[in-house]
Structure 1
Amino acid sequence: MNTVAFVGRIVKEVELRNVGEDRLVTNNVLAVRKTFKKDGSSDADFIPFVVWGKKAEILEKFCNKGDLIALNGKMQSRTYQTNDKDTKYVVEMLVEDIEFIQKKSKN
Structure 2
Amino acid sequence: MTDKVFDNNQVSIAGEVVGDFIFSHDVFGEGFYILEVSVNRLSNSYDIIPLMVSERLMDIKKDYKGKNIEVTGQFRSYNRHEDNKNRLVLSVFVREVTVCDEDYESSKPNYIFLDGYICKQPIYRKTPLGREIADILLAVNRPYGKSDYIPCICWGRNARFAESFTVGGHIQVWGRIQSREYQKKVTDADFEKRVAYEVSVSKLEYIEE
Under a length normalisation based on structure 2, what TM-score does the superposition of the two structures give? Answer: 0.44
How far apart in 1 are the matches of 2:163 and 2:173? 14
Q: Which has the higher contact order (CA 8 A, sep 6+)?
A: 1
Partner residue, 2:203: 97
Q: RMSD between aligned alpha carbons?
A: 1.4
- Measure how far apart 1:2 and its partner are: 0.6
- Measure how far apart 1:23 and its partner are: 0.8
Higher Cα radius of gyration: 2
Letter in 1 for 2:158: K
Partner residue, 1:58: 161
Q: Identify which of 29, 50, 69 aligns with 2:137.
A: 29
Partner residue, 1:74: 176
**2:132·2:159 contact (CA, 8 Å) conserved in 1?**
yes
- Measure how far apart 1:21 and its partner are: 2.0
Q: Identify which of 45, 55, 65 aligns with 2:148.
A: 45
How far apart in 2 are the matches of 1:22 and 1:72? 24
How far apart in 1 are the matches of 2:184 and 2:156? 25
How far apart in 2 are the matches of 1:86 and 1:19? 24
- Measure how far apart 1:95 and its partner are: 0.3
1-10 or 20-29, which deviates more: 20-29
In structure 1, stretches of 5+ residues that fail to align are: none
84-93 or 48-57, which deviates more: 84-93
Structure (1 or 2) with the greater strand fraction:
2
How far apart in 2 are the matches of 1:14 and 1:95? 14
Letter in 1 for 2:182: Y
Q: Identify which of 101, 117, 123 aligns with 1:9.
A: 117
How far apart in 2 are the matches of 1:30 and 1:90? 16
How far apart in 2 are the matches of 1:28 and 1:90? 14
- Measure how far apart 1:20 and its partner are: 1.4
For these two proteins, the number of residue pairs brought into alignment is 97
Under a length normalisation based on structure 1, what TM-score does the superposition of the two structures give? Answer: 0.83
In structure 2, stretches of 5+ residues that fail to align are: 1-108
How far apart in 1 are the matches of 2:160 and 2:177? 21
